[in-house]
Amino acid sequence: MKTGALIIAAGEEKEQKEFRPMLPVGDSTVIRRIIITMQQAGIDPVVVVTGNHGDELEKHISRLRVICLRNRDYENTQMFYSICMGLKYIEDLCDRVFVLPAKFPMFLPVTVRRMMDCRGAAVCPVLNGRRGHPVLLTREIIGQITAYEGDYGLRGALRQPEVEKQVEEITVEDEGIIQAVETKEDCIRPSMEQKKIQIHPQVQLQFERNEGFFGPEMSQFLGLIDHTGSMQTACRQMHMSYTKGWNLLKEAERQLGFPLLVTRSGGAEGGFSQLTPKAADMLERYRNMEQRLREESVRLFREYFPEYGKERE
């Protein structure tokens, strides 16, 4: 079952004095720590909805292999608008999705994995009787969430009677699910300042001849083109110039010896693009191999570096 994540970092709250997603936490920042924690747990894709400070934020996370969506009306919309925007985008990319605002950086990968073992249509972690973040939603319930028109955002959507009965609560001993970063002062609390990101393996699959030409960046690029039907949109969501995207594509085609895209020019987004059958087949096999390598790297890491490989409880 493919699991993604949706992180809301548009910064639309009017009373917000500081831009929380880029505040420093431990050895990282709020947004980077959330993304890395999700990726440690094997979550892919990770979609980040940006808005305020959008260019700066997207550059800040551009090397983390995430998809960026821009809420250009963030000043006039509530957080739930960004949530619905992200859910409608990601629901076709995975079977279920973790959702949270970019102000809860301290939850643990073990909590994410425990939630993934649950079978509820919606899963909420609970500490001392209090629900926290992130929340896990299956594709089947997303429509009921996005149809909510009340005043209480995601919390209200989950409290709808027809949704509430499908929610599974899981008790955890992870204070990070309720530990929010609201101000700079929150970042210097000992519970946050002293906690570094856990050491973990990061294995990347790269195809090469004389140099590398097909790796994680190309995999994400082709996947976004396949999903959006637009090379221009894929470049924007990866915070990458169109020229760079074009050069990556042409080099991969030259090395592979077959075309990767079928394109039709014209239209507001620069025409329509889709993967050729050979490209779609190669992308699927690449992703399957990449997943196997990732799983094996975790096993080997725990074998050779047991002092680092044990998950923090």
Query: The domain spanning residue 216 has which CATH number?
Result: 1.10.10.10
Is 283 contained in some domain? Answer: yes
- 269 and 218 fall within a common domain: yes
Let me know if residue 67 belongs to a domain: yes
* 8 Å CB contact between 31 and 103: no
Q: Does one domain contain both 233 and 293?
A: yes
pTM metric for this prediction: 0.89
* Inside any domain, residue 200: no
Provide the residue range defining the domain that includes 218. 207-297
pLDDT tens track of the chain, all 313 residues?
A: 899 999 999 975 555 567 899 999 888 999 999 999 999 888 999 999 999 999 999 999 988 989 999 999 999 999 999 999 999 999 999 999 999 999 999 999 999 999 999 999 999 999 999 999 999 999 999 999 999 999 899 999 999 999 999 999 999 999 999 999 988 888 777 766 557 788 889 899 999 999 999 999 999 999 999 999 999 999 999 989 999 999 999 999 999 999 999 987 765 555 689 999 999 999 999 999 999 999 999 899 999 999 886 766 5
- Examine the domain organization and report whether 34 and 131 are in the same domain: yes
Q: What is d(CA 105, CA 116) in angstroms, rounded to the nearest whole number?
A: 19
- Residue labelled with tokens 């699959």: 205
Same domain, 145 and 243: no
218 and 79 in one domain?
Answer: no
Residue 238 forms part of a structural domain: yes
Same domain, 216 and 134: no
- Residue the block writes with tokens 């993934």: 116
State which H helix or E strand residue 140 sits in. Answer: helix 139-146
Residues 177 and 226 in one domain: no
Tokens encoding 50:
């940006």
Is the torsion defined by CA of 131, 172, 117, 283 positive or negative? positive
List of long-range contacts for 72-77, beta carbons under 8 Å, 24+ apart: 74/10, 74/11, 74/12, 75/12, 75/51, 77/10, 77/12
Which amino acid is it at 79?
M
**pLDDT for the residue numbered 16:** 59
Measured distance CA(253)–CA(248) in Å, rounded: 9
Distance of CA 157 to the CA centre of its chain: 21
Residues 158, 72 share a domain: yes
Q: What CATH number did the domain enclosing 176 receive?
A: 3.90.550.10
Domain count, the chain: 2
Distance (Å, whole) CA 61 – CA 183 = 21
Do 46 and 162 belong to one domain?
yes
Beta bridge partners of 273: 263
- Write down the pLDDT at residue 141: 96
Do residue 9 and residue 75 come from a single domain? yes
Strand partners, 100: 7
Distance CA 98, CA 112 (A): 9
Rounded to whole angstroms, how far apart are CA atoms 253 and 221? 14
Q: Could you tell me the two tokens for 301?
A: 């890491």
Same structural domain, 168 and 225: no
Does a structural domain hold residue 252? yes
- What is the number of residues in the chain? 313
